[in-house]
Amino acid sequence: MPDKPGIKKFFNQIVDALLPLLGLVLALLIGAVMLLALDASPLKAYAAMLDGAVGNISGITQTLVKATPLLLVGLGVVIAFRGGVTNIGGEGQLTVGALATTAVAIGFGALPGWILLPASLLAGTLAGAAWGGVPGVLKSRFGVNEILGTVMMNAIALQLSNFLLRGVMIDPAEIERGTQIAQSALLPEQTWLARLVPRTLLHSGAILAVVMAVLVYIFLWRTTIGYRIRAVGLNPDASRYAGIRVPFYQALSLILGGAFAGLAGAVEVLGVQHRMLEGLSGGYGFSGIVAALFGKLHPLGAIPASVLFGGLLVGGNKMQRVVQVPSSLIDAMLGLVVLFVVSADIWSRRRARRREINE
């Protein structure tokens, strides 16, 4: 090849990175057809969506608030998928993370913030790790498929949350008033994450998430353990021959995946809701997968991807108000984006193969 390989490689990377955007455009087009079928103007709908997501300070901060848990869950998904395991337990891991954070923040409410806040975050992270660890150990020790394990743990987490929120963890005020809404008491104020922009919900958890993305990048590409996780994901057989304990690293990637989903739950409680309530996970466990995938399963790629999908979710609410089309249209489109992005991989792979043949 006469031209410089560096430029060519760079060009190829650009094309690979742009393919997901193409998938998004295609999904938006199909969404437009659905909008037309529902007698709504796609232009008006998408304009409302854009306006809702980035039209003003409140929209932008809302987008970033939604992007935060997406990014954290997405990072967990990146680690798990890089390790060759399918973690669909994000919902459950996030839920138990939020529960544990709430329990610690309320249970030790007398402690000062500088110790209680990190302790609460840590509790959520550890609970998530444990929830991911169960399917991890089941897989490595007993050969139980991790899809099965994570699905079951999701269902169990949901019931556990209902049980605790209607029982021991319920807000005493709810019992007094007799309303019995299944939510915990408000967390002590010293555990609330600092607001970044006054009078908005944007909190310091967003910064934490970005820092975590960088750390995950360093972890996966600059440490031995990270290298082994990726090796196991790329080729378990070769890894085994190279002496890497494959089951251990598979379990580890599920544990780490759970830890990040748990942290997402912790941050959602400490930063946004300031209490644990039913339905807190709000589908982040699944949409985090979309964000991770859209970022090409790269921790840094997950940052813009999460912001994009955070914007879609926030904009979807505005769209619902303006053109009266349920925001579940956005969920359907998220699904299509996933389908298109994973399908587009075939072209990336084909070009990669062609390059190999040429070289």
Partner 1 sequence: MNRLFTLPVLLGILYSGIRLATPYLYAAIGETFSQRSGVLNLGVDGIMLMGAYSGFYVAQKSGNLWVGLLAAAVVGLLMGLLMAFVSVTLQATQGISGIGLYLFGLGLSTLLFKTTLGGVESINGFQPVKIPLLGDIPYLGDVLFNHNLLVYGAFLLVPLAWWVMNKTTFGLKVRAVGQNPQAADTLGVNVNRIRYTTVCLGGMLAGIAGASLSIALINLFQEDMTNGMGFIAVALVYFGSWRPVGVLGGALLFSFVNALQLWIQVLGIPLPSDIAVMMPYILTILALTVSVNRTQKPAALTKPYQRGES
Dihedral sign for Cα atoms in the order 341, 345, 348, 351: negative
- Please, which residue, 34 or 277, has the CB nearer to partner 1? 34
| CA–CA separation, 280 and 119 (whole Å) | 21
Q: Rounded to whole angstroms, what are the CA distances from 57 to 11, 65, 141, 165?
A: 35, 12, 50, 34
User: Is residue 237 a contact residue for partner 1 (CB under 8 A)?
Assistant: no
Q: Of 7 and 37, which has the nearer Cβ to partner 1?
A: 37
- Per rule CB under 8 A, is residue 357 in the interface with partner 1? no
Query: Does residue 142 touch partner 1 according to CB under 8 A?
Result: yes
Q: How far is the CB of 151 from partner 1 (least distance, A)?
A: 4
DSSP letter at 187 equals P
Angle between helices 90-107 and 246-267 (to 10 degrees): 60
Q: Is 39 left (phi over 0), alpha (psi -120 to 50) or beta?
A: left
Closest separation in Å from C-beta 167 to partner 1: 7
Q: Any contact of residue 209 with partner 1 (CB under 8 A)?
A: no
Count of residues making up the chain: 359
Helix/strand/coil (H/E/C) assignment for every residue in 220-233? HHHCHHHHHHHHHH
- Residue 143 Cβ vs partner 1, minimum distance, rounded to whole Å: 6
Q: Tokens standing for 198?
A: 């006054």
Q: How far apart are CA 84 and CA 353, in angstroms?
A: 21
Cβ at position 111, least distance to partner 1 in Å: 30
| Interaction of residue 155 with partner 1, rule CB under 8 A | yes
For the CB of residue 99, give the shortest distance to partner 1 in the complex, in Å: 13
Please check whether residue 317 is in contact with residue 50, taking contact to mean a CB–CB distance below 8 angstroms.
Answer: no
Instruction: From 49-57, 169-177, 306-314, 333-341, give the range in contact with partner 1 by CB under 8 A.
Output: 333-341
* 100, 117, 185, 329: which one binds partner 1 (CB under 8 A): 329
- Site string (246-285) toward partner 1, x via CB under 8 A: ----------------------------------------
Give the x/- contact pattern for partner 1 in 63-92, rule: CB under 8 A. Answer: ------------------x----x-x----
121 or 305: CB nearest partner 1: 305
User: Residue 17: is it exposed, middle or buried by C-beta count within 10 angstroms (0-12/13-18/19+)?
Assistant: middle
Helix 302-323 crosses helix 57-82 at what angle (to 10 degrees)?
Answer: 130
CA 265/CA 69 separation, integer angstroms: 7
Confirm or reject binding of residue 170 to partner 1 (CB under 8 A).
no
Nearer to partner 1, 120 or 184 (CB): 184
Listed in sequence order, the DSSP H helices in the chain are: 5-37, 42-54, 57-82, 90-107, 113-142, 146-166, 172-177, 205-222, 224-234, 236-241, 246-267, 284-294, 302-323, 328-358
User: Binding residue for partner 1 (CB under 8 A) from 240, 335, 351, 352?
Assistant: 335
330 lies in the binding site for partner 1 (CB under 8 A): yes
Binding site for partner 1 (CB under 8 A): 34, 38, 81, 86, 88, 138, 142-145, 147-149, 151-152, 154-156, 159-160, 162-163, 166-167, 286-287, 289-290, 293, 325-326, 328-339, 342-343, 345-346, 349
